[in-house]
Chain A
Amino acid sequence: MTRKLKKTGLIISLSFLILFLLSATWLLAGGDLLIKNATILTVTGDVIPRGDVLVVNGLIKQIGQNLAAPAGVRIIEANGRYLMPGIIDTHTHIALSGTNEGTDAVTPEVTMAEVVNADDTSIFTALSGGVTMVHTMHGSANVIGGTNVVLKLKWGKPSEQLIVKEAYPTLKFALGENVKQSSGTLLPGRPQRYPATRMGANALIRSELLQARDYMAAWDRYEQLKKSKNPPANLLPPRKDLRLETLADLLRGKLVARCHAYVATEMLEFLNLSREFGFKIGAFEHAWEAYKITNELKAAGVGISVFIDSWAYKMEAAEGIAYNAAYCTKKGLLVSINSDSGERIRRLFNEAGKAVKYGLTRDEALKLITINAAKQLGVDHLVGSIEVGKQADLALFSQHPMSAYTRCEMTIIEGEVYFDREALLKERAAASTKKGDLS
C-alpha cells in the first residue's frame, strides 16, 4: 500500500517536474539570431565599432568579433549600421482599451493591466521607431488614477504575453490643470467634481491615504483577533475595499507612485506627502519645472520622465525650458524622455537626439530612452543596454540614432524580428501590383 502510494507520489512529482521544465523552456523560448558587423551602441559600455551579437533563446549570449552562427540560426548583416538597445517609453497610453476612469477623482481600484489591447495598431507604429517596451498608464484626469502596466510590444501576440511582470508595479497620481479641468469648472452649472484647485488635490490625496491607514489598521485588528485563543463570536472581517487595498499596497511599499506634475510647488508638496506617509515615488511625469528643484529631487532620489522641448503649450508649462532634461541630467537626476502619444512614440529617438543640442553628448542622450528608462521601470537588470545575459531587445538604425538623418530599419524583441523595414517595403511593392488585394 505504502509502496504504491510512494510510486504514485513519485509519478506525480515527476510529471510536475516535467511540466515545470516544459513551461520553463516555453518561457525562455525567444528567437535565435546572429547580427553581424554592426556598430554596437552598448549604452552601458564602450561603443564597439564593428562587432557581432549572438542571440540564443531570446537572450544576448555573446558580443564580439567574427562570431559564428550555430546551424540554422538566422544571420542579419548590419553592414556597419547602428545597433542599439530597444527604445523604452516611460509614459504612454497605447495598447489599452481605456485611458481615464474620469467619473471620480480617486480611482486606484482600476487596473490598466486588465485592459491591454494587443490589437492596437499604435504598437506597430511604435515598433517602426525602434520602441520595444512601454510603460502604458492611466490618464491624468484623476488625482489618484489606476495602476499602470509595462508591456513589450510583441505585435501579434496575445495581450497577456505582452505584460512585463518583472517591472515595478506603479500607481498613477496627477496634479495641476488636468485634474482641475477634469473636475469640470469650465461649464457653468455642470456638477463640479472635487477637487478644483491644487490645494484641493493635495488635501484629497492626504485624506485618502489616511483612510488607507485606518483600513490597514482595521484588517490588522481583525487578523489579530482571529488568531487569538478565544476570538469573539461576532467577529466579522472588515469590508474588502479595492480602492483602499491599492492605496494600502502603496503604503506597504508594494507599489511605486508615478506622479503627473508640471510646476515645482506641486512636486515639492508631493515629496512632502511621500515623506509623511513613507511611500516611494518612481518618477515625476512631465515635470517641466524640475530644473528649479534639482537639489530637492536629488535628495529624495526621485527621477523625471519628460518631453524634450514642447514647452509652453498650456499655462502650467509656461515656465518649462528646453534645457530641462539636459540640465537635470547634469545635476545627477535620473531622466527619461517619453512620448505620451501613439504618434510621437515612433520618433522618440529624434526627441532624445534634440538633447544633444541642449548640452548632452550623444551617449548621454541615448541613455534617456534606454537604460535610464529601464531603471525607472525597475527592469534595468533585463533590458536597456546591450550586455551578455540581457534580453535581446534591439533596434537597428541606418545612422547613429541621435542623428537627424537616421531611421529605424529593424526592431527585435527577445531575438524575434517584429519590424523589418526592407521586408515590409518589398511586401508593399508586391501588394500594390495586385490591385484590390489587401493582404
Chain B
Amino acid sequence: MNKSLKKRQPVFIRPLAPTLLSLVLIASLFFPLSARAGSPEVKPAYALVNCRIFPVAQPVIEKGTIVVRDGLIEAVGPAAKVKIPEDAEIIEASGLTAYPGLISAHTNLFLETKEQAQPPSTPEDYLAAYTQPAEPKELPWLKIIEKLKTKKETVEAYHKTGITTVVVAPSEGIFEGQSVILNLNGDEINSMVLTQPWALHINFTTERRVYPSSPMGTLAFIRQKFYDTQHYNQHLQKYRQSPQLLKRPEYDPFLEALLPYVIDKKTIVFQCNNLEEIKRALKIIKEFQLKAVLTGCNEAWRVSQELKSAAGLPLLVTLDFRPPNSSVYAQEGQAAREKAEKEIYPANASNLAKEKINFSLTSFGLSESNFIKNLRLAIQAGLPADQALRSLTIEPARTLGLEKQLGSLEPGKIANLILTKGELFDEKTKIVKVMVDGTLFSYEEKGQ
C-alpha cells in the first residue's frame, strides 16, 4: 500500500518517510541485509558510481554516476558532473555497465499454462470428447491481471535476461482479453502495475470446435463484432440523448467490452503469426480505423512494403524464429525448415531495420534462455547492437505510452536499470545487478 502511494502521490512521501524507514528497519530484522542472490534491497537513495552508462537517449558515458531516489532516477551523468547526495548509499560499480531495464512488450508471464489435452485414445474417450459441446472462449472483458499468480523464481529468471518490464497478455480465444503492463519489482502484483488495462488482444486463432473454426470464419467473426459494436454504440448514443423516444438497447457484455477499443480507439493488439495475418490485420485496422499494434510478426520482412505504407503502426516482433506452418519453408521438409529457422527468420529484425521500419523486440513464445540466444542470433544476422538495445527499451516504451517513465536513463524516469559485466549482448556477459522501481536485486555469483 505504502509503495503504491509512494509512486503515485509524491507529495505525501515526506510525512510517510519515518514510517517507511521504520518498516524497512523492522523488515531488516527478519531479512538480514546481506546481498543474497535475488534478495531485494530498498534504500531511500542510491548512487551508482564509476560505471559505464548506456543511457539510450544520450551518448554513452564512459565513467559516470547514476543517482536514484524514491524509485526514480534523480541524476545521470559523467562522474565529474553529478554530485552524490549525502544520504545516498554508494554502490561501487567500476567495471560494470549500466543500461535501462529491458522491456518485453508481449509475454505470458505468470499465466498458468494449461496442460495439453491428450487426444482421445479409446472409442469411449472419443465419444465423450465429441458429445460435449466445446465451450466458447471469447472473453473480451477478461482482465488478465486477475488471473496472474506471481512467482519469485520467474521474476529472477527474467531479471537475469535484463528484462524489468513486461506486458502480460491473455492467450486464449480470438478476443483474448485485456493485458497489463508490469514492472518486475518483487512479487506483489498490485505494486508492479504500470498500466491496467493496457490493450485488447485479438488472435486469428482457429483451434476450437465452435464457430468460428477457420481463418475465414475468424475474420468474419471479428468484423461482425466490430460492426455490432458500432451499431450498439449508435443505439446507446441515441438512447442517452432522448430516452423518451426509443427503447433502451439490451445490455451486451461482449460489445460493452469492445466499446473503448472500437469506438474510443484504445489500443488493440493483433497477434500476427504469419505474413498473411499481418495483411489481414492491416485491412481490418484500416476498415475500422483502429489504434492498433501488431505482435508476433516473425514474417514482417516479407510484407515490409505494406508495413511502410502503414507508417506509425507499432510492431512487436518476437524473437521466435520457428517458421509458421503456412510458410513455404515449413512445407518442404525438415531440412528446409531448420535452415529457415537458423538463417532466414533470424534476419527478420535486421531486414526491418534496413527498411527503416520501427519495431520493438519481444520474448513472446520463448524461454528466458532462448530469448537471449535468439537475440544474439538476430544481431549476428545483421541487426546493429544499438538498434537491438533501442528496440528493447525506448521503442517499446513509446508503444506502451510510457516514454516519459521508461526506456532510457534520464532524470525523472523510473529507476529500472541493469548492471552488467561486459557489453549487454556479448556471449559471456553476466547481469550482476538489477534495479526495478528503485529496488535493488543482486545476482552476483558466490565467490565473486
A, B assembled together: yes
Residue numbers of A with Cβ under 8 A of B are 97-104, 107, 109-112, 114-117, 119-121, 138, 146, 158-160, 187-191, 233-234, 236-237, 239-242, 438
A-B contact count (CB 8 A): 105
A99 to B213, CA, bound (A): 10
A101 proximity list for chain B (CB < 8 A)? 211-214, 216-217, 220
**With A98-B214, A99-B214 known to touch, is A116 a contact of B332 (CB < 8 Å)?**
no
B211 proximity list for chain A (CB < 8 A)? 101, 103-104
For chain B, residues 171 to 215, give those with C-beta under 8 angstroms from any C-beta of chain A: 206, 209-215
**Which among A114, A120, A234, A241 is the interface contact of B280 at CB below 8 angstroms?**
A114
Which of the 9-residue segments B226-234, B348-356, B439-447 touches chain A? B226-234
B231 proximity list for chain A (CB < 8 A)? 237, 239-240
Majority secondary structure of chain B interface residues (helix, strand, loop or mixed): helix
Q: Are A236 and B216 in contact (CB under 8 A)?
A: no
Residue numbers of B with Cβ under 8 A of A are 127, 130-131, 133, 206, 209-217, 219-220, 223-224, 227-228, 231, 234-235, 238, 242, 245-246, 276, 279-280, 283, 303, 326-328, 331-332, 335-336, 339
A104 proximity list for chain B (CB < 8 A)? 211
Q: Are B276 and A115 in contact (CB under 8 A)?
A: yes
A110 to B242, CA, bound (A): 37
Further contacts, 20 of them, CB under 8 A, given A98-B216, A187-B127:
A100-B214, A101-B211, A101-B214, A101-B220, A102-B214, A104-B211, A107-B217, A109-B224, A110-B214, A115-B214, A119-B326, A119-B331, A120-B331, A159-B279, A189-B131, A190-B131, A191-B131, A233-B245, A234-B242, A241-B224
**Which among B209, B216, B235, B326 is the interface contact of A112 at CB below 8 angstroms?**
B216
Q: Are B214 and A117 in contact (CB under 8 A)?
A: no
A187 to B275, CA, bound (A): 38
A183 smallest CB distance to B (angstroms): 13
B131 proximity list for chain A (CB < 8 A)? 187, 189-191
A-B contacts, 11 listed (Cβ < 8 Å) = A101-B213, A101-B214, A103-B210, A103-B213, A103-B217, A158-B303, A188-B127, A190-B130, A190-B131, A236-B238, A438-B339
B215 proximity list for chain A (CB < 8 A)? 97-98, 114-115
**With A103-B209, A121-B328 known to touch, is A234 a contact of B336 (CB < 8 Å)?**
no
Q: Which 6 A-B pairs have the closest CB atoms?
A: A101-B217, A98-B214, A110-B216, A234-B246, A109-B220, A103-B211
**Which among A98, A103, A438 is the interface contact of B335 at CB below 8 angstroms?**
A438
**With A101-B217, A107-B217 known to touch, is A237 a contact of B234 (CB < 8 Å)?**
yes
Majority secondary structure of chain A interface residues (helix, strand, loop or mixed): loop
A109 to B235, CA, bound (A): 24
Q: Are A102 and B279 in contact (CB under 8 A)?
A: no
A242 to B223, CA, bound (A): 8
A241 proximity list for chain B (CB < 8 A)? 224
A158 proximity list for chain B (CB < 8 A)? 303
A115 proximity list for chain B (CB < 8 A)? 214-216, 219, 276
A249 to B280, CA, bound (A): 23
B331 proximity list for chain A (CB < 8 A)? 119-121
Q: Are A233 and B242 in contact (CB under 8 A)?
A: yes
Q: Are B339 and A236 in contact (CB under 8 A)?
A: no
A107 proximity list for chain B (CB < 8 A)? 217, 220
Q: Are B276 and A117 in contact (CB under 8 A)?
A: yes
A234 to B240, CA, bound (A): 12
**With A98-B214, A188-B127, A189-B127 known to touch, is A110 a contact of B219 (CB < 8 Å)?**
yes
Q: Are A239 and B217 in contact (CB under 8 A)?
A: no
A218 to B127, CA, bound (A): 44
Q: Are A119 and B327 in contact (CB under 8 A)?
A: yes
B185 smallest CB distance to A (angstroms): 42
B127 proximity list for chain A (CB < 8 A)? 187-190
A428 smallest CB distance to B (angstroms): 14
A138 to B332, CA, bound (A): 25
**Which among A138, A146, A236, A242 is the interface contact of B224 at CB below 8 angstroms?**
A242
Q: Are A98 and B224 in contact (CB under 8 A)?
A: no
A191 to B127, CA, bound (A): 11
A285 to B227, CA, bound (A): 34
B214 smallest CB distance to A (angstroms): 4
Chain A residue nearest to B133 (CB atoms) is: A191
Q: Are B216 and A117 in contact (CB under 8 A)?
A: no
B216 proximity list for chain A (CB < 8 A)? 97-98, 101, 110-112, 114-115, 138, 146
A101 to B219, CA, bound (A): 11
